[in-house]
Amino acid sequence: MTAARGVLLCPITMGVLLQSLFILILLLLGSCLHPAAAFPKGCYPSEEEGLKTFRCSNAQLTEVPRDIPNDTNKLYLDFNQIPFLPRDAFRDLPLLLELDLSHNAITRIESGAFQGLAEHLHSLDLSSNRLVSVSKDAFSNLKTKVNLSNNPWLCDCRLQELIRAVELVADSSGGIVCDSSTQEEHVGKAFLQVIADTDFCNVYKKTTDIAMLVTMFGWFAMVISYLVYYVRQNQEDARRHLEYLKSLPSKQRRSEESSTISTVV
């Protein structure tokens, strides 16, 4: 009876052990696969030419994804619907060398959006977005080459300052075209071609100076007009008083005339 019970318990014990081992294996696999499961749909890590790459191309993203591995060297966020880049959007990616944001819907880049990337980043693609005007401060301290082509740029002093502050990717400057401009005749022309003959910042300064001069002249004219009016009014009052004095008897008139003369003096 005892022997039979031992034979019966042995398979049960083996079954429990096998079940426990199977559960342990599943837990280990789950912990290994967990980081990948945290990635947004359509994003995946890879290695290209020895560089750690994270691809989110055409993943229907509407913002810069979080949980990007912080050892990423190349980040592809192209062909999405990202509308703007907030401050510190890439602050946890200190080893990033290349950043592709082309073919999105970016209209605004906040100051500090690329903060933390100055040391390593050498390629930044912002082509084919919806950028109209961007402050040069958004690219502060960056030493990377930037592609700004195929955006609906407003050609003005702000764009001129931006172009002078960044290093453009070779052969991309021809794609920076004036979609609108402070001067209508520049629309449709390449911006670098336009600024070869026009200094937008000097034009703006001259316009401001002229406006200030016109304002000052207006105030000066008002002061002169008031002074002329005041003098004429006083002259009219003095003339009336003298005529009144002439109508008085001679002795009283001389006394009041001398009084009037002293008052005028």
pTM for the model? 0.65
Q: What pLDDT is recorded for position 247?
A: 66
In the predicted model, is pLDDT for residue 153 greater than 70?
A: yes
The confidence score (pLDDT) of residue 27 equals 46
The class of domain 38-198 in CATH terms is alpha beta
DSSP line for 127-181: -SS--S---GGGGTT--SEEE--SS-EEESHHHHHHHHHSEEPTT-GGG-BEEEE
**Are 177 and 187 in contact, with CB atoms under 8 Å apart?**
no
pLDDT at 205: 46
What value does the mean pLDDT take over residues 154-182?
Answer: 95
Mean pLDDT, rounded, for 109-131: 95
Between CA 88 and CA 114 the distance in angstroms is 6
DSSP helix/strand/coil, 100: strand
Q: What confidence tens digit (pLDDT) does each residue in 63-88 have?
A: 999 889 999 999 999 999 999 999 99
Tell me the C-alpha distance between 241 and 225, whole Å: 24
Beta strand 178-181 with 153-155: parallel, antiparallel or unpaired?
parallel
pLDDT digits (tens, 9 = 90+) for 199-238: 999 864 444 444 555 556 566 567 676 666 666 667 666 6
pLDDT score, position 238: 66
pLDDT category, 180, cuts 50, 70, 90? Answer: very high
Q: How high does pLDDT run on average in the chain?
A: 80
Q: Which residues pair with 84 in a beta bridge?
A: 108
- Looking at per-residue confidence, does 254 or 49 come out higher? 49
- Can you tell me which residue has the tokens 């937008």? 200
How big is the CA angle at 107 (ends 149 and 153), to the nearest 5 degrees? 40
> What are the tokens at 171?
């052969």
Task: Give the residue with greater pLDDT, 259 vs 207.
Answer: 259
- Over residues 43-69, the pLDDT tens digits come to 999 999 899 999 999 999 999 998 899
What lies within 8 Å, CB to CB, of 95 at 6+ separation is 70, 71, 72, 73, 120
CA nearest neighbour of 101 among 68, 71, 141, 63: 63
